[in-house]
Chains A and B, each alone.
Chain A
Amino acid sequence: EVQLVESGGGLVQPGGSLRLSCAASGFTFSSYWMHWIRQAPGKGLEWVSRLNTDGSITNYADSVQGRFTISRDNAKSTLYLQMTSLRAEDTAIYYCSRDLAGSRDSWGQGTLVTVSS
């Protein structure tokens, strides 16, 4: 069974940093592109970033470009999102998701990031 488990969320002050992790199991992690997608409280879904299988290709939403860094450790089957210079508008549930045929076929339960003083 495919499982994605996010962790690392929490309360952080504006301007602060946080690193999210997504532990994958039940599939060959190194064979899949992976994504981070977020959802602000009561709002819709917003794609944040994607990473290819070996970590050499990354893309970001304009809203996080230059502040967030996606990475992976295939030996640990783990996806990461390093977030810096956090703003109030970054407050959201962050989901990691697997890419399959251009869709997001598996999602984690999400981890909540709250940016507030």
Chain B
Amino acid sequence: DIVMTQSPLSLPVTPGEPASISCRSSQSLLHSNGNTFFSWYLQKPGQSPQLLIYFDSNRASGVPDRFSGSRSGTDFTLKISSVEAEDVGVYYCMQGLQTPYTFGQGTKLEIK
């Protein structure tokens, strides 16, 4: 199974400040079609998860442009340029390359 390792697990952030979450996969997530099957999700308190980023760097429809994703090899990063109060929740990374699809442990972002 592909193991997804997130860090940090807890992230206190001051509103207006940037934030960064990392995720490392235990193997390459590059598909034969040239895309990287990696995505980021946000689960706000009391809600279902919502897609933020797919193919490691493409924002999903309706996602604010303060969210961005990048990749270096098997290391992935989600950046929030300027954190807002509505960004609180748990962020998960996920590999969609092969079953069993696996998620990171989650990073809880809270406002200082």
Residues of chain A whose beta carbon lies under 8 Å from any beta carbon of chain B: 35, 44-47, 50, 59, 61-62, 95, 99-110
A106: chain B residues within 8 A (beta carbon): 51
Residues of chain B whose beta carbon lies under 8 Å from any beta carbon of chain A: 31, 35, 37-39, 41, 43, 48-51, 54-55, 60, 90, 92, 94, 96-97, 99-106
Smallest Cβ-Cβ distance to B99: which chain A residue: A59
Q: Are A104 and B51 in contact (CB under 8 A)?
A: yes
A111 to chain B, nearest CB (A): 11
Smallest Cβ-Cβ distance to B106: which chain A residue: A44
Q: Are B55 and A47 in contact (CB under 8 A)?
A: no
Q: Are B49 and A104 in contact (CB under 8 A)?
A: yes
Residue of A95, A101, A110 with most chain B CB atoms under a 10 A cut-off: A101
Smallest Cβ-Cβ distance to B103: which chain A residue: A45
Q: Are A101 and B55 in contact (CB under 8 A)?
A: yes
A44-B54 contact given A104-B49, A107-B48, A109-B48, CB 8 Å threshold: no
Q: Are A101 and B35 in contact (CB under 8 A)?
A: yes
A103: chain B residues within 8 A (beta carbon): 37, 39, 51, 54-55, 60, 94, 96
Residue of A35, A45, A107 with most chain B CB atoms under a 10 A cut-off: A45
Partner of B100, one of A47, A100, A104, A110: A47
Partner of B103, one of A35, A46, A50: A46
A59 to B96, CA, bound (A): 13
Q: Are A107 and B35 in contact (CB under 8 A)?
A: no
A45: chain B residues within 8 A (beta carbon): 41, 43, 49, 92, 94, 103, 106
A107: chain B residues within 8 A (beta carbon): 48-50
A88 to chain B, nearest CB (A): 21
A100: chain B residues within 8 A (beta carbon): 54
B61 to chain A, nearest CB (A): 8
A99: chain B residues within 8 A (beta carbon): 96
B92: chain A residues within 8 A (beta carbon): 44-45
Smallest Cβ-Cβ distance to A101: which chain B residue: B54
